[in-house]
Structure 1
Amino acid sequence: MKAFRAKSLTSKEVQGDNQEQYSRLRDYIMELQSANPDTTVHIEVESKPNPDSTTRVFKRIYICLGPLKLGFKECGRDILGLDGAFLKGSQQGQVLVAVGLDSNNGLYPLAYAIAEAENKDSWTWFLECLKDDLALQNNSRFTFISDRQKGLIPALEKVFPAAEHRFCLRHIHQNMKLKWRCKGFKDCLWACATARTVPEFREKMEELKKFNEEAYNWLAQIPPKHWSRSHFTGWAQSDVLLNNMCEVLNAKTVEGREKPIISCLEYLREYLMKRIVNVMKVQHQCKGPLTPKITEILDEIKKAAAQCTVKWCGDSRWQVQGTLGQYVVNIEQKVCTCRRWEISGIPCKHAVAVNWDMAAHKQQVGPPEDWVHPCYYLDTWKKAYAYKVGPINGPKLWPISPVPTTLTPPLHHKEAGRPKKKRRRDQVEVENAMEKKGKLTRKGGTVTCKKCNVKGHNSRSCKEPKKGKATEGGSANDVVAAVGSAGGSAAEE
């Protein structure tokens, strides 16, 4: 504990005092908004019975940087991942984030907040702030992806009742593994989730039912519109099943979550500022018309398109026979009945085969790249990162906020001992980690006592002498032997 206290004092000198940072939070916000125009900041405080008090207890803060707000609109992809992560320092709370996708299928952070907890009230407040920043309506056709957090689901239904809400498939699988851990269950789950048509989805669900009816009944209780591509809309130009964009951001900013509030917010802002520069360096080496990731995806689609045969009906529709079935492509509506083009915005192999057939018959058509949604163009990618997060001055040059009240840290009970910084892993993660290290877990197994050979306890808790050894009235040598044997067993345990 001496080393821990010494480290805490050193960290306070380097990063700043937590109490002092709360008192200067409004000054920091003024500097942040002056360096980044159109930045939205909302601060909420705890309600206090005495309005004449000169202090206010901090409750939560929301920040959406102006450059990121403009850049996200340039991306043209109406999808956001939502997630929360625990603060790891002396203060308690959660960091809430909203992360989108850019033209290269990379993460594009939009907004972040520090709230008291991850519950319905805090998520409703966070989503209301997002709604105002993006100028969305209640009936807006927007897509969100998250885990099945109990507070987030009703908050989304309240703020965006018409939105599409996808559940991260990884979290569904984590819940499934609590009871069904075989690899066959994972394969069946992914087969159902990646099915793009309703008939294919039903077929895969029937396979799961034959494999295990109890698991089928459990999965059938989750509406497929939340986790299967067969029921997704094409609003977001994305077929993602995992909330990886938020997981990556949380992993990149994990060190910032153990710092005082201003240092934590600055860690996030500096990461966002540096990330834009790093993406720009990659962009300078790219040649269009599409971004690098989308170019790789389309190249794989082109290889598969060589296996398709095409027949034209005379208008904007083509009949295409592929390796997995027969589908209809409508080039006027830019859809295919396999639904890949409709969901992702990238032409499927059937559409690419139609494009080649049209070119072979001297019809006016460009390359398959022209049929890709504009959100995947290299120019769109560059426009999104044309807005830079501005640097700010040090605390000595910050303006002084005219607000007469002073913010104080939120009240909470400090737990005894060293603050926990490692994420709490669930049972499945712990067991998987042990298996990867080459050591199988003993959890769930039955222990056999080495003294009495009875199952249910070990030699340390055994109250019976070892069978075949000395009992009351035995010789002294037998007693010594029995004691030595019990000590050896305890050491082994």
Structure 2
Amino acid sequence: MKKGFKACLRDFLGLDGAHMKGPYPGQILTAVGLDSNNGIYPLAYAIVEIENCESWKWFLECLGDDLDLHAMSNFSFVSDRQKGLLQAVSQLFPCAEPRFCLRHIHENMKKQWRTKEYKDHLWDCATATTVPEFNHFMHQFSLYDKSTYEWLKSIPPQHWAKSHFTGRATTDMLLNNLCEVFNGKLVDGRDKPIISCLEFIREYMMKRTCNVLKVQQKCVGPLTPTATKIMEKNEAAATQYIAEWCGDEKYQVKGPWNDQHVVDMHERIMVSVYKSSILMSTRCTGYKLGKLHMGTRWNQIKGRALWPRSECPMQITPPPHRNQPGRPKRKRRQSMEEKSQSKSQSQSQRSDVGPSEIHGHGPHGSGKLTRKFVSVTCSKCGNKGHNSRTCKGQGGT
């Protein structure tokens, strides 16, 4: 399992502990990774007497030796904040990124605030992808309930909010379902003696590996089934975005909801839907404009929603609005030279046509029909010179 993990898996692990159910007390500590199909990858397990900082420290030391993790490794661990776990991680891996399971944060929140609205606000804040969007949802949460907002604010957002993750683990997982699923498979073995329990876990992992190999043999295409679904979803959403090449490997991507992002293909900043839009644009249009014939390039900017707030103490008010008299003009004002040119052109056009043709068109050669020199017949009385609206009952002969 460690050879497979070091070969192709992400630097992301879920850590959890579960109680033994039989007459033999103890705790089962587990470490579960995430495979390329977003499924669980059981990596390591051990039975200890009690769950504390010392037991977790011993477990992580053995795990670090197996995976060649040194003290400055940039790993990401997601957990339920078990007893002594965070302290052990900070001592052994000070550069690691600890994440907290959002479901357990919600469970702690439900002790005081139980309604569904609190859960919705929590998930809006956690799933926000940018810091301005996160601040917006946190502000909405504070307007809904100030006390809950202060309680949630006490938890550092880099541990539970997607917008504050470093991105080193290349996954935005917010839950510790990896270990929860694995622990659920071990329920029938946790009431057995220690040796029998360890044998039960080993057989389960052996069977699971064989089942995954069978699924791989049936898989069609270069991607896993889950990755294929994600790619198809991103391609469908990317059709609504427009990618503009800005030089080098940078693109400016505009969305249908006035969202705008800068994508760096070399640094792989802002991927998923925006990157899919760029790939589709380059594939369909053959986009490579070459070098720009200019000394400098324009800097790309993000959309309005991502602009930072100004720290200016003065509040700038908009200028007073005053409606102009008359109907709003749609055409721009012409200069005197343009007016003289258009007048001379209309006169030359009128000189080329006869008087009957002039009478049938509007002034200045506009081509519009006019009623000048046309006699109107009333539909009521039949006399000429007026219409039915101004008719006063004149009788005809």
Structure 2 CA distance for aligned equivalents of residues 360 and 218 of structure 1: 50
**1:358 counterpart = 2:282:** yes
Structure 2 partner of 1:219: 152
Structure 1 partner of 2:229: 296
Structure 1 CA distance for aligned equivalents of residues 243 and 25 of structure 2: 61
SS at match of 2:254: strand
**Count of residues in Structure 1 that have an aligned counterpart in Structure 2:** 287
CA contact (8 A) 2:34 2:40 kept: yes
Structure 1 partner of 2:261: 327
Map 1:122-141; keep pairs closer than 5 Å.
122-141=55-74
Q: Deviation of residue 81 (structure 1)?
A: 0.3
SS at match of 1:157: helix
Deviations for 1:338-396, whole angstroms, at most 9, x for unmatched residues? xxx3xxxxxx11111111111222247xxxxxxxxxxxxxxxxxxxxxxxxxxxxxxxx
SS at match of 1:234: coil
Structure 2 CA distance for aligned equivalents of residues 245 and 116 of structure 1: 23
Deviations for 1:403-453, whole angstroms, at most 9, x for unmatched residues? xxxxxxxxxxxxxxxxxxxxxxxxxxxxxxxxxxxxxxxxxxxxxxxxxxx
Q: Deviation of residue 331 (structure 1)?
A: 1.4
CA contact (8 A) 2:74 2:96 kept: yes
Structure 1 CA distance for aligned equivalents of residues 83 and 44 of structure 2: 21
Map 1:72-471; keep pairs closer than 5 Å.
72-324=5-257, 325-336=259-270, 341=271, 348-363=272-287
Q: Deviation of residue 204 (structure 1)?
A: 0.9
RMSD over aligned Cα, in angstroms? 1.1
CA contact (8 A) 2:253 2:274 kept: yes
Structure 2 CA distance for aligned equivalents of residues 206 and 238 of structure 1: 26
Structure 1 CA distance for aligned equivalents of residues 157 and 138 of structure 2: 11
Q: Residue type of the partner of 1:352? A: S
Q: Residue type of the partner of 2:199? A: E
SS at match of 2:31: strand
Structure 2 CA distance for aligned equivalents of residues 266 and 119 of structure 1: 25
Structure 2 partner of 1:454: none
Structure 1 CA distance for aligned equivalents of residues 8 and 108 of structure 2: 33
TM-score scaled by structure 2?
A: 0.71
Structure 2 CA distance for aligned equivalents of residues 315 and 260 of structure 1: 62
Structure 2 CA distance for aligned equivalents of residues 219 and 226 of structure 1: 12
Give the share of equivalent positions with the same residue, in percent.
55
Structure 2 CA distance for aligned equivalents of residues 169 and 305 of structure 1: 29
Structure 1 CA distance for aligned equivalents of residues 93 and 245 of structure 2: 42
CA contact (8 A) 2:235 2:273 kept: yes
**Which 5+ residue runs of structure 1 have no aligned equivalent?**
1-67, 342-347, 365-493
Structure 1 partner of 2:4: 71
Deviations for 1:452-490, whole angstroms, at most 9, x for unmatched residues? xxxxxxxxxxxxxxxxxxxxxxxxxxxxxxxxxxxxxxx
With a CA cutoff of 8 Å and minimum separation of 6, indicate the structure with the bigger relative contact order. Answer: 1
SS at match of 1:114: strand
Structure 1 CA distance for aligned equivalents of residues 249 and 85 of structure 2: 43
SS at match of 2:218: coil
TM-score scaled by structure 1?
A: 0.57
Structure 1 CA distance for aligned equivalents of residues 213 and 284 of structure 2: 38
SS at match of 2:235: helix
Structure 2 CA distance for aligned equivalents of residues 180 and 104 of structure 1: 36
**Which 5+ residue runs of structure 2 have no aligned equivalent?**
289-397
Say which one has the larger Rg. Answer: 2
The runs of at least 4 consecutive aligned structure 1 residues that moved more than 4 Å come to none
